[in-house]
Structure 1
């Protein structure tokens, strides 16, 4: 790097010296040359300034980010159709009624008597319970949220109608819970109906048991028949095989007898042949031993 700088300095010094020598040799030429060189230097400087300005503007434009677009306006979601009406009127609770106390079932209520006792206390009265037993609370009471105690008690009567519960509210704010007349007869009738249903169920179960037993007996009888048929078939097959074996034995016996008869016949034929041969031999011997008769000459 140092050598390169020294060479550049040396070259520039030499060029300056040459220019100085030339200017000293020709003054008019030096003045024209210096004027043109100053103009060219100004042009170069202006060009470089313009290039620097343009480059800076481009770089600044690239470095500067555009501002983010504004967020879209919020659109409401509670749109309602226009010019539409319900076919049937709907009840809208009044603000005054909403602010009033409501008679309803709470999680702390355990039985019907405890809930009605709380309602009587909240109404500023008392509860007189004359029903023969207490009752459990049911799900249908969860919808009871009435400002009017009589309306709430009307729902209670409807829910416990099968239990013949009678709830009355007097002008003195006294609440009386009694049993409707005819409950005993209705309960007796209900018990008879339940007993009849139980008997019918028992009879049905007995019929089903008898039918099942009969079905099992039929299945066992069918199995026994199939077993007897299979045993009979197996017995017939065994008898058939025995007959075939007996026939084979008889045929073998006949063949043996025929073979023995053939052997006996062959033996008899052989004996006859031997006897015939023996008789012939004996006859030949007799003929040979008999003297020859002389020939008679006539």
Structure 2
């Protein structure tokens, strides 16, 4: 195996088309040798193994679906010891020219850099706020309690305030959709917490890096495009529920001490209220969509298809 200090790991879940576009974009993203490992949470379907093998990468079929974080951890564990820098990315990301090299240069310029994240564009060209602060107790409680019933509240405004996308800066956490990590820091902290099956594993990772005096750095000179969460398509109610359960886990970890019980209780109560409201809205939306489909079929004589 060719010695390399740089690797890219990703997770497939029926992601054939996305993987092909991702790998095609890597040719101009770095001038360094790049070791590729793709973990597959849905093996035995599609052409993921064939697509990965065509790049010279390693295909890792998972024996069970451990979620995004669990699959990334498994992929990183297969890397040879000389790999110190690891690009972690969703499969539905494409890299602009030079982006990986820019991330690496930024990381190597700071001896305490544990993660560096790029500017992430949505496929419509808008910028996704991928670098955020971990909210304080006051902001967290206000946002958790009032975000859905009082959208303009000052705590939610503060939560979304520190999202500048036009300059390099420190961040509390970086989006797990795409980031470069220092492997030694990643593994010393246990990698992603696999208790987060979906959502918040990146918030938790960035928070733990900072607690251990590592730095999370946002670098907009590196740019990628995220085409969308194709692997999480399905019931919107289920997605809402999963998001809020992961938020509850993060809060329970962050405020785990007995003296923080009042804070933890208030935040969890707010999240559960938000979850109920959001789930109800999602159900209404799903019913509306279903009714529209039935009406269109009725009008076209396909009611019983």
Same structural fold, with TM-score higher than 0.5 when normalized by the shorter chain: no
Question: TM-score of the superposition, structure 1-length normalised?
Answer: 0.22
Q: In proportion to residue count, which structure has more strand? A: 2
Larger radius of gyration, structure 1 or 2? 1
Task: Point out which structure has higher relative CO (alpha carbons under 8 A, 6+ apart).
Answer: 2
Q: In proportion to residue count, which structure has more helix? A: 1
Question: TM-score of the superposition, structure 2-length normalised?
Answer: 0.22
